[in-house]
Amino acid sequence: MLEHLRTALNDKAYTINRVATSVKYPASFILMASMNPCKCGNFGLYKCPNKDCFEFSPESLKVCKKCKKKMVRMCHCINREIDLYRKKLSKPLLERIDIKILITKSKTDGWDYATSSVKKKIEKARKIQQNRYKGSPYSCNGDIPRKAELFKYDKTNHETIMNKIKEKGEKNGWSWRVQDKLLLVSRTIADIEENATILNKHLELAEDIMGLNNEYFHMFE
């Protein structure tokens, strides 16, 4: 059933074919989904062995900051179980999901994720994109099917960034779809920062939030 989302996410439409006829339905939507990283849900997490301490940490921090004790691995899934669980999502489907982030129970002190501040940033970015695509069938970067369409409306010189994306794509074996999405996500991050030019920091952040640098998502391949 999940694989049927591929066509809708890619074409923003879904066609039902029958013997006598076929019907095409519009399917422009924003997909938000979540899943456990493994069967037990504790993939890559460690906890303090002290029962009175509630410290959790990702795999990179194996010593409790409070108790200074060695953290205990929480996930008890064997590799085969994790692999079978991950394979519920295919690589082609994952390529059509722009942003993929592995969430942990680690603290997020200092992050400004208040709804009001995020809303203001989104509204500004949307306004920039609406002006960019004015008079076209598109209203935002997410509507753009491929980079050639972006270049019709965004006249900023992206040659340096495109060369870097191409180089990274060849090195990591990324498909043209992943490379196009990396450009569009980078463009969106630049819009959020109200920057007319895509900078290296926008590209690097786009790689991170697309899961391109995360080993967990590479395991799907």
Across the chain, what does the average pLDDT equal? Answer: 85
Percent of the chain residues past pLDDT 90, beyond the cut? 38
Query: What is the secondary structure of the chain as a DSSP string?
Result: -GGGHHHHHHHSEEEEE-SS-EEEEE----------SSSSS-TTEEE-S-TT---EEETT--B-TTT-PBPEE-----HHHHHHHHTTS-HHHHHT-S------S---TT----HHHHHHHHHHHHHHHHHHTTTSS-SSGGG--SHHHHHHH--S--HHHHHHHHHHHHHHT--HHHHHHHHHHHHHHHHHTT-SS--HHHHHHHHHHTTTT-HHHHTT-
Instruction: Please state the rounded mean pLDDT for residues 19-31.
Output: 90
Cα 61 vs. chain centroid, distance in angstroms? 24
Residue 39 scores a pLDDT above 80:
yes
Sign of CA dihedral 38, 209, 57, 116: negative
Whole-Å CA distances, 35 to 46, 92, 111: 19, 17, 23
What are 148-166's pLDDT values in tens digits? Answer: 899 999 988 888 899 999 9
pLDDT at 76: 87
Q: In this prediction, what percent of the chain has a pLDDT beyond 70? A: 89
Residue 110: per-residue pLDDT: 52
pLDDT value at residue 122: 92
Question: Which of 48-52, 66-70, 74-78 has the lowest average pLDDT?
Answer: 48-52
pTM: 0.81
pLDDT of residue 67: 81
Question: The dihedral of CA 111, 107, 63, 53: what is its sign?
Answer: positive
Q: What is the pLDDT of residues 106-130, one digit of tens each?
A: 555 555 566 788 889 999 999 999 9
Q: Which of 53-67, 75-89, 138-152 has the lowest mean pLDDT?
A: 53-67
Please give the residue that has the higher pLDDT: either 122 or 52.
122
